[in-house]
A and B are shown apart, each in its own frame.
Chain A
Amino acid sequence: MSGSESAASNRWLQGKVALVTGAARGIGLASARLLAGHGATVYLSGRRLELLEALAQEVSEQSGAVVRSLLLDVTDPASVSKAFGSIHRENKGLDVLVNNAGVLKDALIGMVGAEDMATVFGVNTFGVLHCCQYASRLMARRGGGSIVNVSSIIGVTGNAGQAVYAASKSAVIGITKSLAKELAPQNIRVNAVAPGFIDTDMARSLSPEKFQERVDSIKMKRIGTAEDVAGVILFLASPLAEYVTGQTIGVDGGMLI
Protein backbone atom coordinates (compact mmCIF):
# COMPACT_ATOMS: atom_id res chain seq x y z
CA MET A 1 0.00 0.00 0.00
CA SER A 2 1.39 3.40 -0.98
CA GLY A 3 1.65 6.27 1.47
CA SER A 4 -1.28 8.07 -0.09
CA GLU A 5 -3.46 4.95 -0.03
CA SER A 6 -2.54 4.42 3.59
CA ALA A 7 -3.43 8.00 4.43
CA ALA A 8 -6.73 7.74 2.58
CA SER A 9 -7.72 4.64 4.48
CA ASN A 10 -7.09 6.23 7.86
CA ARG A 11 -9.30 8.64 9.68
CA TRP A 12 -6.60 10.46 11.57
CA LEU A 13 -8.91 12.56 13.71
CA GLN A 14 -11.66 10.10 14.60
CA GLY A 15 -13.21 11.12 17.93
CA LYS A 16 -11.41 14.46 18.02
CA VAL A 17 -13.01 17.89 18.32
CA ALA A 18 -11.67 20.69 16.09
CA LEU A 19 -12.36 24.40 15.75
CA VAL A 20 -11.51 26.31 12.56
CA THR A 21 -11.66 30.11 12.58
CA GLY A 22 -12.48 31.98 9.40
CA ALA A 23 -14.10 28.81 8.10
CA ALA A 24 -16.53 30.29 5.59
CA ARG A 25 -14.16 30.12 2.63
CA GLY A 26 -10.66 29.52 1.31
CA ILE A 27 -8.11 27.77 3.50
CA GLY A 28 -10.45 27.68 6.50
CA LEU A 29 -13.23 25.91 4.63
CA ALA A 30 -10.84 23.50 2.89
CA SER A 31 -9.30 22.65 6.27
CA ALA A 32 -12.69 22.11 7.85
CA ARG A 33 -13.67 19.76 5.02
CA LEU A 34 -10.46 17.75 5.39
CA LEU A 35 -10.62 17.53 9.20
CA ALA A 36 -14.26 16.40 9.02
CA GLY A 37 -13.31 13.92 6.32
CA HIS A 38 -10.85 12.41 8.76
CA GLY A 39 -13.52 11.93 11.39
CA ALA A 40 -13.27 15.03 13.56
CA THR A 41 -16.25 16.85 14.99
CA VAL A 42 -15.64 20.26 13.43
CA TYR A 43 -16.81 23.71 14.44
CA LEU A 44 -16.93 26.13 11.49
CA SER A 45 -16.57 29.56 13.03
CA GLY A 46 -16.78 33.08 11.76
CA ARG A 47 -18.95 36.17 11.72
CA ARG A 48 -21.55 35.12 9.14
CA LEU A 49 -23.64 32.57 10.99
CA GLU A 50 -26.22 31.97 8.28
CA LEU A 51 -23.54 31.11 5.72
CA LEU A 52 -21.69 28.93 8.25
CA GLU A 53 -24.88 27.02 9.07
CA ALA A 54 -25.37 26.14 5.40
CA LEU A 55 -21.72 25.16 5.00
CA ALA A 56 -21.80 23.04 8.16
CA GLN A 57 -24.73 21.08 6.80
CA GLU A 58 -22.99 20.59 3.47
CA VAL A 59 -19.69 19.48 5.02
CA SER A 60 -21.51 17.16 7.40
CA GLU A 61 -23.39 15.48 4.56
CA GLN A 62 -20.19 15.07 2.54
CA SER A 63 -18.07 13.72 5.38
CA GLY A 64 -20.54 11.97 7.65
CA ALA A 65 -18.96 13.82 10.57
CA VAL A 66 -20.63 16.07 13.12
CA VAL A 67 -20.12 19.62 11.84
CA ARG A 68 -21.43 22.67 13.65
CA SER A 69 -21.48 26.40 12.98
CA LEU A 70 -20.26 28.83 15.60
CA LEU A 71 -20.53 32.60 15.74
CA LEU A 72 -17.05 33.91 16.55
CA ASP A 73 -15.44 37.32 16.16
CA VAL A 74 -11.82 36.63 17.08
CA THR A 75 -11.20 40.33 17.73
CA ASP A 76 -13.80 40.44 20.51
CA PRO A 77 -12.75 38.77 23.79
CA ALA A 78 -16.39 38.42 24.87
CA SER A 79 -17.26 36.64 21.62
CA VAL A 80 -14.24 34.33 22.01
CA SER A 81 -15.20 33.52 25.60
CA LYS A 82 -18.77 32.75 24.57
CA ALA A 83 -17.74 30.55 21.64
CA PHE A 84 -15.28 28.49 23.67
CA GLY A 85 -17.87 28.29 26.45
CA SER A 86 -20.19 26.60 23.94
CA ILE A 87 -17.51 24.09 22.97
CA HIS A 88 -16.86 23.42 26.67
CA ARG A 89 -20.54 22.79 27.36
CA GLU A 90 -20.96 20.49 24.37
CA ASN A 91 -17.67 18.57 24.46
CA LYS A 92 -15.84 19.34 27.72
CA GLY A 93 -12.68 19.84 25.71
CA LEU A 94 -11.00 20.58 22.40
CA ASP A 95 -8.31 18.68 20.46
CA VAL A 96 -7.51 20.86 17.43
CA LEU A 97 -7.58 24.60 16.81
CA VAL A 98 -6.88 26.04 13.37
CA ASN A 99 -6.30 29.79 13.69
CA ASN A 100 -7.08 30.77 10.14
CA ALA A 101 -9.12 33.99 10.34
CA GLY A 102 -7.16 36.75 8.67
CA VAL A 103 -7.40 40.04 6.83
CA LEU A 104 -5.14 41.67 4.25
CA LYS A 105 -4.79 45.41 3.82
CA ASP A 106 -1.89 46.41 1.59
CA ALA A 107 -0.52 49.94 1.48
CA LEU A 108 2.81 51.71 1.32
CA ILE A 109 4.07 52.61 4.76
CA GLY A 110 3.31 56.31 4.40
CA MET A 111 -0.29 55.56 3.54
CA VAL A 112 -1.34 53.13 6.27
CA GLY A 113 -3.96 54.52 8.62
CA ALA A 114 -3.94 53.72 12.31
CA GLU A 115 -7.38 52.16 12.01
CA ASP A 116 -6.19 49.72 9.35
CA MET A 117 -3.16 48.79 11.48
CA ALA A 118 -5.48 48.04 14.41
CA THR A 119 -7.83 46.01 12.20
CA VAL A 120 -5.05 43.86 10.75
CA PHE A 121 -3.42 43.19 14.10
CA GLY A 122 -6.82 42.72 15.75
CA VAL A 123 -7.70 39.79 13.50
CA ASN A 124 -4.34 38.34 12.45
CA THR A 125 -2.46 38.59 15.73
CA PHE A 126 -4.67 39.38 18.74
CA GLY A 127 -7.32 37.03 17.39
CA VAL A 128 -4.78 34.20 17.44
CA LEU A 129 -3.78 35.06 21.01
CA HIS A 130 -7.39 35.23 22.23
CA CYS A 131 -8.23 31.84 20.75
CA CYS A 132 -5.01 30.22 22.01
CA GLN A 133 -5.81 31.39 25.55
CA TYR A 134 -9.06 29.46 25.68
CA ALA A 135 -8.08 26.56 23.43
CA SER A 136 -5.01 25.70 25.48
CA ARG A 137 -7.15 25.36 28.61
CA LEU A 138 -9.69 23.11 26.90
CA MET A 139 -6.87 21.03 25.41
CA ALA A 140 -5.11 20.67 28.74
CA ARG A 141 -8.26 19.00 30.09
CA ARG A 142 -7.99 16.40 27.31
CA GLY A 143 -4.34 15.72 28.07
CA GLY A 144 -3.09 17.55 24.99
CA GLY A 145 -3.95 18.88 21.57
CA SER A 146 -2.71 20.62 18.46
CA ILE A 147 -2.87 24.29 17.52
CA VAL A 148 -2.14 25.21 13.91
CA ASN A 149 -1.69 28.90 13.16
CA VAL A 150 -1.97 30.21 9.63
CA SER A 151 0.88 32.66 9.07
CA SER A 152 2.08 33.66 5.59
CA ILE A 153 5.16 33.64 3.40
CA ILE A 154 4.97 37.43 3.80
CA GLY A 155 5.47 36.99 7.54
CA VAL A 156 8.67 35.03 6.83
CA THR A 157 10.21 37.09 4.03
CA GLY A 158 8.47 40.48 4.19
CA ASN A 159 7.28 42.32 1.09
CA ALA A 160 7.09 45.88 -0.19
CA GLY A 161 3.72 47.45 0.52
CA GLN A 162 2.85 44.87 3.14
CA ALA A 163 4.63 46.04 6.29
CA VAL A 164 1.57 45.83 8.51
CA TYR A 165 0.38 42.47 7.17
CA ALA A 166 3.95 41.10 7.36
CA ALA A 167 4.32 42.29 10.94
CA SER A 168 1.02 40.72 11.96
CA LYS A 169 1.96 37.39 10.36
CA SER A 170 5.55 37.44 11.72
CA ALA A 171 3.96 37.90 15.12
CA VAL A 172 2.01 34.71 14.53
CA ILE A 173 5.31 32.86 14.12
CA GLY A 174 6.55 34.39 17.38
CA ILE A 175 3.37 33.28 19.11
CA THR A 176 3.79 29.79 17.64
CA LYS A 177 7.38 29.41 18.85
CA SER A 178 6.63 30.79 22.31
CA LEU A 179 3.48 28.78 22.94
CA ALA A 180 5.18 25.63 21.66
CA LYS A 181 7.64 26.01 24.52
CA GLU A 182 5.04 27.05 27.09
CA LEU A 183 2.47 24.38 26.31
CA ALA A 184 4.70 21.38 25.53
CA PRO A 185 4.56 20.16 29.15
CA GLN A 186 0.80 19.85 28.71
CA ASN A 187 1.29 17.86 25.51
CA ILE A 188 -0.13 20.69 23.41
CA ARG A 189 1.71 21.13 20.12
CA VAL A 190 1.76 24.53 18.41
CA ASN A 191 2.82 24.89 14.79
CA ALA A 192 2.25 27.24 11.88
CA VAL A 193 1.87 27.06 8.14
CA ALA A 194 3.15 29.83 5.91
CA PRO A 195 1.16 29.72 2.67
CA GLY A 196 2.56 31.35 -0.44
CA PHE A 197 0.34 32.52 -3.30
CA ILE A 198 -2.91 30.64 -2.79
CA ASP A 199 -6.01 30.72 -4.98
CA THR A 200 -8.34 32.54 -2.61
CA ASP A 201 -10.53 35.62 -2.84
CA MET A 202 -7.53 37.62 -1.63
CA ALA A 203 -5.43 36.44 -4.59
CA ARG A 204 -8.24 36.98 -7.08
CA SER A 205 -8.53 40.62 -6.01
CA LEU A 206 -5.13 41.37 -7.62
CA SER A 207 -4.86 42.93 -11.08
CA PRO A 208 -4.19 40.40 -13.92
CA GLU A 209 -0.62 41.72 -14.23
CA LYS A 210 0.11 41.37 -10.52
CA PHE A 211 -1.50 37.94 -10.49
CA GLN A 212 0.74 36.68 -13.31
CA GLU A 213 3.80 38.27 -11.75
CA ARG A 214 3.17 36.31 -8.59
CA VAL A 215 2.64 33.02 -10.44
CA ASP A 216 5.88 33.60 -12.36
CA SER A 217 7.74 33.85 -9.03
CA ILE A 218 6.70 30.33 -8.04
CA LYS A 219 9.16 27.55 -8.92
CA MET A 220 6.33 25.04 -9.38
CA LYS A 221 4.72 27.47 -11.86
CA ARG A 222 1.22 27.28 -10.48
CA ILE A 223 -0.81 29.02 -7.86
CA GLY A 224 -1.41 26.98 -4.71
CA THR A 225 -4.82 25.75 -3.71
CA ALA A 226 -6.57 25.96 -0.39
CA GLU A 227 -6.43 22.15 -0.36
CA ASP A 228 -2.62 22.27 -0.68
CA VAL A 229 -2.54 24.20 2.61
CA ALA A 230 -5.28 22.16 4.25
CA GLY A 231 -3.25 18.98 3.74
CA VAL A 232 -0.37 20.35 5.76
CA ILE A 233 -2.77 21.62 8.42
CA LEU A 234 -4.26 18.11 8.66
CA PHE A 235 -0.76 16.65 9.02
CA LEU A 236 0.10 19.05 11.85
CA ALA A 237 -3.24 18.41 13.56
CA SER A 238 -2.91 14.64 13.32
CA PRO A 239 -0.92 12.04 15.27
CA LEU A 240 1.45 11.85 12.27
CA ALA A 241 3.04 15.04 13.68
CA GLU A 242 2.91 14.08 17.32
CA TYR A 243 6.60 14.95 17.86
CA VAL A 244 6.48 18.21 15.89
CA THR A 245 6.07 21.53 17.67
CA GLY A 246 7.22 25.12 17.26
CA GLN A 247 7.63 24.75 13.49
CA THR A 248 6.52 26.92 10.60
CA ILE A 249 6.03 24.95 7.39
CA GLY A 250 6.05 26.85 4.12
CA VAL A 251 3.35 25.79 1.65
CA ASP A 252 4.43 27.88 -1.30
CA GLY A 253 5.57 25.71 -4.23
CA GLY A 254 9.03 27.24 -3.97
CA MET A 255 7.86 30.83 -4.24
CA LEU A 256 10.50 33.57 -4.21
CA ILE A 257 9.71 37.08 -3.01
Chain B
Amino acid sequence: MEGNSEKLYQTFAAALGVDRSLVTDDLQYNKIAQWDSIAHMSLVAQLETAFDIMLETEDIIDMSSVKKAKEILEKYDVRF
Protein backbone atom coordinates (compact mmCIF):
# COMPACT_ATOMS: atom_id res chain seq x y z
CA MET B 1 0.00 0.00 0.00
CA GLU B 2 1.33 3.40 -1.05
CA GLY B 3 0.09 4.96 2.19
CA ASN B 4 2.19 2.66 4.34
CA SER B 5 5.34 3.39 2.30
CA GLU B 6 4.94 7.12 2.80
CA LYS B 7 4.12 6.58 6.48
CA LEU B 8 7.33 4.57 6.80
CA TYR B 9 9.44 7.25 5.08
CA GLN B 10 7.91 10.01 7.21
CA THR B 11 8.55 7.99 10.38
CA PHE B 12 12.18 7.48 9.39
CA ALA B 13 12.60 11.19 8.63
CA ALA B 14 11.07 12.22 11.95
CA ALA B 15 12.98 9.66 14.03
CA LEU B 16 16.35 10.39 12.43
CA GLY B 17 15.78 14.13 12.19
CA VAL B 18 16.52 14.29 8.46
CA ASP B 19 14.69 15.73 5.51
CA ARG B 20 12.10 13.41 3.99
CA SER B 21 13.91 13.60 0.64
CA LEU B 22 16.91 11.80 2.17
CA VAL B 23 14.84 8.76 3.06
CA THR B 24 14.89 6.21 0.24
CA ASP B 25 14.90 2.41 0.25
CA ASP B 26 18.69 2.50 -0.12
CA LEU B 27 19.31 4.46 3.08
CA GLN B 28 21.42 2.29 5.41
CA TYR B 29 22.11 2.12 9.13
CA ASN B 30 25.33 3.86 10.19
CA LYS B 31 25.87 5.32 6.70
CA ILE B 32 24.70 8.73 7.82
CA ALA B 33 25.62 10.36 11.13
CA GLN B 34 21.97 10.73 12.13
CA TRP B 35 21.25 6.97 12.00
CA ASP B 36 23.40 5.70 14.86
CA SER B 37 22.49 3.13 17.54
CA ILE B 38 20.72 5.67 19.76
CA ALA B 39 18.65 6.97 16.84
CA HIS B 40 17.96 3.36 15.85
CA MET B 41 16.17 2.64 19.14
CA SER B 42 14.20 5.86 18.79
CA LEU B 43 13.33 4.82 15.24
CA VAL B 44 12.14 1.42 16.46
CA ALA B 45 9.91 3.06 19.08
CA GLN B 46 8.39 5.37 16.49
CA LEU B 47 7.85 2.57 13.97
CA GLU B 48 6.17 0.46 16.64
CA THR B 49 3.88 3.33 17.56
CA ALA B 50 3.13 4.29 13.94
CA PHE B 51 2.23 0.74 12.90
CA ASP B 52 0.98 -0.49 16.30
CA ILE B 53 3.33 -3.48 16.44
CA MET B 54 6.02 -4.82 18.73
CA LEU B 55 9.21 -5.91 17.00
CA GLU B 56 11.25 -8.89 18.08
CA THR B 57 14.80 -8.19 19.19
CA GLU B 58 16.34 -10.04 16.23
CA ASP B 59 14.32 -7.90 13.82
CA ILE B 60 15.59 -4.73 15.48
CA ILE B 61 19.14 -5.93 15.01
CA ASP B 62 18.48 -6.92 11.39
CA MET B 63 16.88 -3.60 10.41
CA SER B 64 19.89 -2.36 8.48
CA SER B 65 18.18 -0.28 5.77
CA VAL B 66 14.86 1.24 4.82
CA LYS B 67 14.36 -1.60 2.36
CA LYS B 68 15.05 -4.15 5.08
CA ALA B 69 12.64 -2.34 7.39
CA LYS B 70 9.87 -2.87 4.83
CA GLU B 71 10.66 -6.59 4.63
CA ILE B 72 10.61 -6.88 8.41
CA LEU B 73 7.38 -4.92 8.84
CA GLU B 74 5.69 -7.20 6.30
CA LYS B 75 6.25 -10.02 8.80
CA TYR B 76 3.99 -8.05 11.12
CA ASP B 77 1.24 -7.80 8.48
CA VAL B 78 2.14 -4.28 7.34
CA ARG B 79 1.64 -4.22 3.55
CA PHE B 80 3.65 -2.02 1.19
Cross-chain contact A85 with B45 (CB below 8 angstroms): no
Considering only residues 23-66 of chain B, those with a C-beta below 8 Å from chain A are 41, 44-45, 48-49, 54, 56-58
The answer to the question of A140 belonging to the interface, with a C-beta cut-off of 8 Å to chain B, is: yes
Max chain A Cβ within 10 angstroms of own Cβ: one of B48, B54, B57: B54
Q: Is the interface of A mostly helix, strand, loop or mixed?
A: helix
Cross-chain contact A141 with B49 (CB below 8 angstroms): yes
Cross-chain contact B56 with A137 (CB below 8 angstroms): no
Tally of chain B residues near chain A (CB < 8 A): 9
A-B contact pairs, 23 of them (CB 8 A): A77-B56, A77-B57, A77-B58, A81-B54, A81-B56, A81-B57, A84-B54, A85-B54, A88-B54, A130-B57, A133-B57, A134-B54, A134-B57, A137-B41, A137-B44, A137-B45, A137-B48, A137-B54, A138-B54, A140-B45, A141-B45, A141-B48, A141-B49
Query: CB within 8 Å of A: which residues of B?
Result: 41, 44-45, 48-49, 54, 56-58
Q: What are the 9 A-B residue pairs with the smallest beta carbon separation, nearest first? A: A88-B54, A81-B56, A85-B54, A133-B57, A140-B45, A137-B45, A141-B45, A84-B54, A141-B49
Interchain CA distance A77-B56 in the complex, whole Å = 9
Q: Is the interface of B mostly helix, strand, loop or mixed?
A: helix
Minimal Cβ-Cβ distance residue in A for B55 = A137
- Size category, A interface: 10 to 19
Interchain CA distance A133-B58 in the complex, whole Å = 11
List of B residues within 8 angstroms of A141 by Cβ: 45, 48-49
Interchain CA distance A133-B44 in the complex, whole Å = 13
Return B15 CB to nearest CB of chain A, in Å. Answer: 13
List of A residues within 8 angstroms of B41 by Cβ: 137
Interchain CA distance A130-B45 in the complex, whole Å = 17
Interchain CA distance A111-B22 in the complex, whole Å = 59
Given A137-B44, A137-B48, A138-B54, 5 extra CB contacts under 8 A? A77-B57, A81-B54, A81-B56, A88-B54, A134-B57
Interchain CA distance A133-B61 in the complex, whole Å = 12
Interchain CA distance A133-B54 in the complex, whole Å = 12
Interchain CA distance A84-B54 in the complex, whole Å = 8
List of A residues within 8 angstroms of B56 by Cβ: 77, 81
Considering only residues 122-150 of chain A, those with a C-beta below 8 Å from chain B are 130, 133-134, 137-138, 140-141
